[in-house]
Amino acid sequence: MPEKDATLNEVFEEIADKSGTEFFLELPKNYKKGQTKYVVITGSVMSGIGKGMISSSLCKLLKDREINVEPMKLEAYLNVDSGTLNPFRHGEVFVLDDGTETDMDLGSYERFADKNLSKNNFVTSGRIYQEVIRKERAGEYLGRDVQFIPHVTAEIKNVVRKLALEKKADIVLIEIGGTVGDYENLFALEAMRELAYEDGKQNVCFVNVTYIIEPKTLGEHKSKAAQFGIRQLMQTGIQPDVIICRSETKIPERIKEKISMSSNVHLSNIVGCENIGNIYELPLAMRERNLDEIVLETLEWNKKFPMTGTGNKKLYEWTEKNKPKENAEKIKIGIAGKYTGSSDTYISILKAVEHCEGPGNAKIEIEWIDTEKIEARDKNELQKLDQVKGIIVPGGFGSRGTKGKIEVIKYCREQKKPFLGLCFGFQHALIEFARNVLGYADANTTEIDLKTKHPVVDLLPEQKQIEGLGGNMRLGGQDVEVKEGSIAWELYGKQKHVRERFRHRYECNPEYIQEFEQNGIIFSGKHSKYPIMQILELSKKEHPYFLAVQYHPEFTSRPLKPNPCYLGFINACKKAQ
């Protein structure tokens, strides 16, 4: 055994490779403890209280201090990725540039940190277990019985440390999915406890986001549920360093005192976070409450990354520019889809619209249009079409609500109402045009009708094979060649090539391209080598704004950098009668 005065790091290095040890440490090559520090964010009491937005805001604050911060989501569910999740149950599937299908929180990280993330920023329990089983089958555990501790927790620590090395991060910010007390995330919490033990407590800051209830019947805040939730976290062996108290309204000081006393967290490290009107005000609100300074003090890095003289000024300007002026025009736009009961399903679309409010100086109101009710000719739903300035038809899969989408697109085309079609909306714009302009009454996509005589949208596996995308799903960032002189070309600042993110299987059938073009469709964006159409539009003479794209422009929209397709749509809505 090593000498008594050896450091913990030396102990690990000496015993890590010895057979029979209870330590199972897989430090990546060139990894040095303390070179990267970690912030671990957990949630207690209940889900859906904004843990992802707080994580994103902290990313913004740390980046604002010129810290290389890398956000990461450790998701509890056993799916390998988010690709097969029902968006109505779990929220939208966000697609990274490298094609990884992730939780919607990754979208928040990208928007607030203003950077592209990769597959290593999103890790599910399913992916962890998949790798553990692979190693077991390959004999990499040298005959040991494979267990949650140390093997599963070691794999979690391994992906966290590899991300730190890969991105040369100063700080890796790790959000643990779910709520403390869930069975699913117990091993992620244990892995983070071990990380602090191995790398040193000064290198890991634990932040717990709890919820302070305020029952209307009582008319006051109650902290007991929060105290129990934090105690559950402490029972896992994790002592929080910072506690953020989410609430509907501002909490009184006595609530902070109760939380402090019951959690062993100093009162100065209890941060209140009540609801705010504009989510882009959250980073500034958290800085005013000293959150980033508290975290850096815990990590002993507040002197290494001091607040510069321009720090608060830059953040204040960023906050103000994201808001429209007081006298900004109010416009109502429609989103026509089949998941209108849950805004999380279309969260990136909502955020892309929000990004236009400041730069476009418009106060935007959303009207949800249920396309299944449009199919049923519901009078109230049909009236909404007249009440909005423009309509977005979003993506989706399956046949439910598609007839209603086609009706909405027909209405927009014929009534000259600004229209933006996204992914499936692009395909339905083709179907609507084929049926009502080309005269092919049975035109359809083979996703819905395999026997249609006019498959204007079809699965083209040979094109997928050419591009080497794997399977038949086209995922992630792709270059789009934009037609000079088109509306899209103007929107994108007269760039000939732009990069956008895709998530679809079916394409415009090349056999119908010429006929579409002869009758007024302009394919203003396409693949640079193959006949894969990616943007369609009608000329300004025919329509004030009729644009549909095969990709998801909302995935690349950022605060103060709205995607051009959305900004063009909002500007057209402002001009609409």
Residue 462: per-residue pLDDT = 55
Which of 151, 504, 543, 552 does the annotation list as catalytic? 552
Entry pTM: 0.90
Residue 7: per-residue pLDDT = 60
Residue 145: burial class (beta carbons within 10 Å; 0-12, 13-18, 19+):
exposed
Residue 82: per-residue pLDDT = 83
Instruction: Supply 106's token pair.
Output: 């990754």
The whole-angstrom separation of Cα 290 and Cα 322 is: 22
The whole-angstrom separation of Cα 328 and Cα 343 is: 24
Residue 13: per-residue pLDDT = 54
pLDDT in tens, the chain (577 residues): 455 555 655 555 554 554 456 666 678 889 999 999 999 999 998 888 889 999 999 999 999 999 999 999 999 888 888 877 766 666 789 999 999 999 899 999 999 999 999 999 999 999 999 999 998 898 888 878 888 888 899 999 999 999 999 999 999 999 999 899 888 889 999 999 999 999 999 999 999 999 999 998 888 999 999 999 999 999 999 999 999 999 999 999 999 999 999 999 999 999 999 999 889 999 999 999 999 999 999 999 988 988 876 668 889 999 999 999 989 999 999 999 876 666 678 899 999 999 999 999 999 999 999 999 999 999 999 999 999 999 999 987 766 778 999 999 999 999 999 999 999 999 999 999 999 999 999 999 998 999 999 999 998 755 545 444 444 678 899 999 999 999 999 999 999 999 999 998 899 999 999 999 999 999 999 998 888 999 999 999 999 999 999 999 999 999 999 999 999 999 999 998 6
Instruction: Supply 396's token pair.
Output: 């989706």
Domains of the chain with CATH codes: 32-319 (3.40.50.300), 329-458+513-521+533-575 (3.40.50.880)
The whole-angstrom separation of Cα 433 and Cα 543 is: 14
E strand residue ranges, 468-505:
474-482, 497-504
The whole-angstrom separation of Cα 441 and Cα 28 is: 60
Residue 368: per-residue pLDDT = 94
Which of 70, 554, 565, 573 does the annotation list as catalytic? 554
The whole-angstrom separation of Cα 370 and Cα 124 is: 33
Residue 22: per-residue pLDDT = 67
Cis peptide leading into residue 150 (ω within 30°) = yes
- CB contact burial 179-217 (16+ within 10 A = b; e otherwise): bbbbeebebbbbbbbbbbebbbeebbbbbbbbbbbbeee
Instruction: Supply 110's token pair.
Output: 């990208």
Q: Which amino acid is at 43?
A: G
Q: Are 461 and 504 in contact (CB under 8 A)?
A: no
Taking the alpha carbons at both ends of the chain, their separation in whole angstroms is 82
- Asked about 552 being catalytic, the answer comes back as yes
Strand partners, 508: 457
Q: Which amino acid is at 420?
A: L
The whole-angstrom separation of Cα 311 and Cα 560 is: 18
- Asked about 527 being catalytic, the answer comes back as no
- Could you give the residue ranges of the DSSP H alpha helices within 97-185? 105-113, 125-137, 153-166
- Asked about 428 being catalytic, the answer comes back as no
Residue 452: burial class (beta carbons within 10 Å; 0-12, 13-18, 19+):
middle
Which is nearest to 146 in space by CA: 120, 128, 124, 122?
128
Residue 247: per-residue pLDDT = 95
Element (H, E) at 208: strand 204-211
State phi, psi for 349 to the nearest 5 degrees. -65, -45
Strand partners, 222: 213
Strand partners, 39: 173, 205
Contacts of 74 (CB under 8 A, 6+ apart): 123, 156, 160, 174, 175, 176, 177, 185, 188
Q: Which long-range contacts (CB under 8 A, 24 or more apart) does 428-435 make?
A: 428/393, 428/402, 429/393, 429/536, 429/546, 429/548, 430/456, 430/457, 430/508, 430/512, 430/516, 430/521, 430/536, 431/406, 431/456, 431/457, 432/406, 433/516, 433/519, 433/521, 434/512, 434/516, 435/406
> Which one-letter DSSP state was computed for residue 469?
-
Which of 423, 508, 565, 573 does the annotation list as catalytic? 423
The whole-angstrom separation of Cα 75 and Cα 175 is: 8
Residue 468: per-residue pLDDT = 44
Instruction: Supply 375's token pair.
Output: 């199919």
Residue 448: burial class (beta carbons within 10 Å; 0-12, 13-18, 19+):
middle
Which is nearest to 19 in space by CA: 142, 128, 126, 123?
142
> Which one-letter DSSP state was computed for residue 36?
B
